[in-house]
Amino acid sequence: MSKSFYTSVLNIRTLICVGTGFASGLPLYILIQLIPAWLRDSGVSLSDIGLFALIQMPYTWKFLWAPLIDRFAFPMGLRRGWMFIFQLSLLFSVALLGWFNPVLQTSSIAILALLVAFFSASQDIVLDAYRREILPDEELGLGNSVHVQAYRLSSLIPGSLSLILADRMSWESVFLVTSGFMLFGIIMTLLIFEPVRGEKIKHSGIRDMILAPLEELLLRKGIGGLFLVVVFIVLYKLGDNMATALSTPFYIDLGFTKTEIGLVAKNAALWPAIFGGLFGGLLMIKLGINRALWIFGVVQLVSILGFAALAYYTPSLWLLAIVVGFEYLGVGLGTAAFTAFIARETSRAFAATQFALFTAMASVPRTVASASTGFIVDTIGWYQFFLLCTLFATPGMLLLIWVAPWNDKQS
């Protein structure tokens, strides 16, 4: 290995990417893993829990207020100042959640959870911008990969540790302990440096912020081509997102204890997803993005049927571990190819804006479509629900014929 390789890997920037990933992922996993488990454990209906997916809307619309965050600086700096404010807000708002009664104050919890989502999505804007500014072009791939894996690892706190603690202490204490892990992000913000900018960031009008990137997309892809890309981005992971939206309440309904879920299900989800993401990235070097979308998409689709089997047969811990492990292997593989596809469809000249718009579209299934999952399960049951999720995963695969043909050699 050359010296330049080691200096690209073993440096402070890589360590910072670990911190940004952890700080970014923790609040999201509190929203999508810990809060649903808390609500279900307290007796809230699946229909109401499913509606809580709507609190994730700030992740979809964050590009609307990003220019404000990019314009106004604080004494700590343009990036560090905003980081500190949003991380401090997350620390207190997450701790406050546990003081509400889930059955009697569901609406108040939803409002506070929406605030948590807003602070989290806003923090993501700053962390993404900071990471882009400190990473040289040759380290973008490595840095973002480290960020994503640290992002996934952060799920161990709300998805595993917090659930185990919930069997031993009150939910008020659980949320207080969980919120305390935001201190790692705050400490990172206090220790890191503000990026050195060669020139002042320019703040153009609405045209340059929104219309110019859209015009470039239309010129490059055409109306028909852009329409297919957008529909594909929305549909490719639709079935997968729906199948995992209520995973923790599903495990609880099967009769598993919170400790079993924390020790078995959450770990069986995390490590295969991380392995799938890293292994998928290596495979794409040989396969190319198009073929990876096909192969990984099939794995992603078939793995949903494992949940149907778990709902149909008498559940056991070993079956839970196998099904969840295979499902999240598919999640990791599919996400690796899907993220690479979005990056490829982005123009270098308008990478930030177009990437934000594409990722916002990709979050639609996780927010809007997943909100209906509770009603669907209450109507048809878990087994039929997972069969339906498999059906919903099919249109995205069919669109590959046009957006990513198998024999197209582009990488």
**Least-confidence region, from 40-44, 167-171, 195-199:** 195-199
CB atoms within 10 A of CB 12: 11
Residue 404 gets which letter from DSSP?
S
Give residue-wise pLDDT tens across range 314-343. Answer: 778 888 888 888 888 888 778 777 877 776
By the 8 A CB rule, do 44 and 365 touch?
no
Helical ranges in 255-393 per DSSP H: 258-260, 266-287, 289-312, 317-344, 351-362, 364-367, 373-380, 382-392
Average pLDDT, stretch 220-247?
A: 88
Looking at the predicted structure, is the pLDDT value of residue 201 above 50?
no
Q: Which domains does the chain have, with CATH numbers?
A: 1-195 (1.20.1250.20), 206-411 (1.20.1250.20)
Cα distance between the two ends of the chain: 26
Which span out of 7-21, 57-71, 81-95, 140-154 was modeled with the highest average pLDDT? 81-95
Length in residues, the chain:
411
Looking at the predicted structure, is the pLDDT value of residue 155 above 60?
yes
**Least-confidence region, from 19-28, 125-134, 324-333:** 125-134
Average pLDDT, stretch 384-390?
A: 94
Mean pLDDT score of the chain: 82
Give residue-wise pLDDT tens across range 162-185. Answer: 989 998 999 999 999 999 999 999
How far is 93 from 113, CA to CA, in rounded Å? 8
How far is 378 from 376, CA to CA, in rounded Å? 5
How far is 270 from 182, CA to CA, in rounded Å? 20
- Residue located via tokens 């919120």: 179
* 308 or 210, higher pLDDT: 308
Q: Give, for 34, the enclosing helix (H) or strand (E).
A: none
Question: Phi and psi of 407, rounded to 5°?
Answer: -90, 5
Which span out of 82-91, 105-114, 193-202, 316-325 was modeled with the highest average pLDDT? 82-91
By the 8 A CB rule, do 130 and 196 touch?
no
- Cβ neighbours of residue 10 under 8 Å, at least 6 residues apart? none
By the 8 A CB rule, do 275 and 319 touch?
no
Average pLDDT, stretch 247-265?
A: 84
Binned at pLDDT 50, 70 and 90, residue 138 comes out as low
By the 8 A CB rule, do 152 and 273 touch?
yes
Average pLDDT, stretch 3-30?
A: 80
**Least-confidence region, from 7-11, 93-97, 226-230:** 7-11
Please give the pLDDT value at position 410: 52
Please give the pLDDT value at position 57: 85
Alpha carbon 154 to its chain's center: 11
Q: Give, for 109, the enclosing helix (H) or strand (E).
A: helix 106-134
